[in-house]
């Protein structure tokens, strides 16, 4: 016997008095329509889901782009600041070299050459153009990292150089403070210079004068011409009342024929400080100051040490 076919009938009943309609479809056709409708619905749901995911991804990409742009701006700014630091360090080093040159201090030549190279590179010499356009993000970051490495190497060297300069400047300042440099009295006039001269007590005799004589009013203040320690303050033969100051670095100054003292032995004095007053004690023909400058125990011309 033949297998009976199965059908699916759809009846349409209008609300009017018109006759009803019916559609007779094989069951497999109905099944195909149902399956097709299910597939369409599933496809629509998948499309909606994919669209929502794509929209979320687009928002995240936009947010990431904004973050990336901000990071790029920070990298550019960071690279620029590190370059400025290197330039400033080069300028500081140039100033240090200038100070050292003015003071007659010699810094390590190898370090000086390295510092000159670093300063020229920091000023845009070509190798260290340390910030660039935003399109070269990785390149800028590499240059910023290179700047940091350079700073890590340069800072200890510069610190050591500055410490050396500080020590040398301190030595120079202390030596300068200990070097006689001012007129030892005010309002006086030079009456006898350094070197060979006729004796003021016997014009027929020529003798060596180990200092200079400055005449002035009795009681005029006498000033220390440099910082130092009073090694002697008292009466000494032909010098009369005398003050002897040891300044260190081989310098000594002598102030003779004083009327009275303003300091005592062992006292520390500063340049310009009053140490006594003009007189004519000892072997003197009139009121004056006999002033000597000695270097390593040898009398030298005081005029070379008076500004």
Please report the pLDDT score of residue 298 as a whole number: 95
Q: Are residues 194 and 301 in the same domain?
A: yes
User: Is the predicted pLDDT of residue 238 greater than 60, yes or no?
Assistant: yes
Please report the pLDDT score of residue 128 as a whole number: 42
Q: Are residues 83 and 53 in the same domain?
A: no
Q: Are residues 168 and 92 in the same domain?
A: yes
Output DSSP code: residue 211: S
| CATH value at residue 202 | 2.70.70.10
Which of 177, 205, 230 is at the close of a domain? 177
Residue 1 belongs to a domain? no
Report which of 290, 263, 287 is spatially closest to residue 275, judged by C-alpha positions.
Answer: 263
Q: How confident is the model at residue 226 (pLDDT cuts 50, 70, 90)?
A: very high
Residue 70 belongs to a domain? no
Q: Are residues 20 and 106 in the same domain?
A: no
Residue 73 belongs to a domain? no
**Residue 86 burial by Cβ neighbours in a 10 Å radius (0-12, 13-18, 19+):** buried
Q: Are residues 92 and 150 in the same domain?
A: yes
Residue 129 belongs to a domain? yes
| Full residue range of the structural domain in which residue 30 is found | 7-64
Buried b (16+ CB within 10 A) or exposed e, 108-139: eeeebebbeebbebbeeeeebebbeeeeebee
Q: Are residues 126 and 211 in the same domain?
A: no
Please report the pLDDT score of residue 5 as a whole number: 66
Please report the pLDDT score of residue 111 as a whole number: 45
Q: Are residues 247 and 144 in the same domain?
A: no
* Domain count across the chain: 3
Residue 69 belongs to a domain? no
Q: Are residues 196 and 299 in the same domain?
A: yes
Q: pTM of this prediction?
A: 0.57
Q: Are residues 55 and 129 in the same domain?
A: no
Classified as helix, coil or strand, 87 is: helix
Q: Are residues 98 and 120 in the same domain?
A: yes
Q: Are residues 159 and 219 in the same domain?
A: no
Please report the pLDDT score of residue 69 as a whole number: 81
Identify the residue with better confidence: 243 or 149: 243
Residue 72 belongs to a domain? no
Residue 256 belongs to a domain? yes
Which of 119, 145, 177 is at the close of a domain? 177
Residue 167 belongs to a domain? yes
Sign of the torsion angle spanned by Cα atoms 95, 96, 101, 102: positive
The pLDDT tens digits for 88-129 are 777 777 877 777 777 776 665 444 444 444 444 444 444 444
Which of 177, 203, 228 is at the close of a domain? 177
Q: Are residues 160 and 244 in the same domain?
A: no
CA distance 50 to 54: 6
Q: Do 189 and 215 contact (CB within 8 A), yes or no?
A: yes
């Amino acid at each position: 016997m033949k297998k009976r076919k199965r059908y699916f009938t759809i009846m349409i009943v209008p609300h009017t008095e018109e006759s009803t309609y019916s559609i007779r479809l094989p069951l497999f056709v109905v099944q195909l329509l149902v399956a097709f409708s299910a597939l369409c619905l599933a496809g629509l749901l998948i499309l909606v889901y994919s669209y929502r995911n794509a929209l979320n991804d687009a928002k995240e990409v936009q947010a990431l782009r904004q973050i990336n742009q901000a990071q790029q701006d920070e990298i550019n700014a960071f690279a620029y600041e590190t370059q400025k630091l290197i330039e400033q360090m080069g300028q500081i080093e140039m100033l240090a070299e200038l100070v050292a040159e003015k003071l007659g201090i010699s810094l390590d030549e190898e370090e000086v050459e390295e510092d000159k190279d670093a300063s020229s590179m920091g000023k845009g010499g070509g190798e260290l153009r340390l910030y660039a356009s935003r399109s070269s993000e990785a390149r800028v970051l590499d240059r910023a990292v290179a700047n940091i490495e350079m700073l890590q190497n340069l800072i200890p060297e510069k610190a050591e150089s500055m410490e050396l300069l500080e020590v040398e400047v301190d030595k120079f300042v202390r030596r300068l403070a200990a070097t006689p440099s001012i007129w030892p009295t005010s309002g006086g006039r030079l009456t006898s210079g350094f070197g060979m001269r006729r004796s003021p007590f016997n014009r027929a005799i020529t003798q060596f004068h180990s200092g200079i004589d400055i005449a002035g009013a009795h009681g005029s203040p006498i000033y220390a011409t440099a910082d130092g320690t009073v090694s002697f303050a008292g009466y000494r033969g032909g010098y009369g009342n005398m003050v002897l100051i040891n300044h260190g670095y081989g310098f000594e100054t002598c102030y003779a024929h004083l009327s009275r003292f303003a300091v005592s032995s062992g006292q520390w004095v500063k340049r310009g400080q009053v140490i006594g007053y003009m007189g004519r004690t000892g072997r003197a023909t009139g009121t004056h100051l006999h002033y000597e400058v000695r270097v390593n125990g040898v009398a030298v011309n005081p005029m070379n040490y008076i500004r």
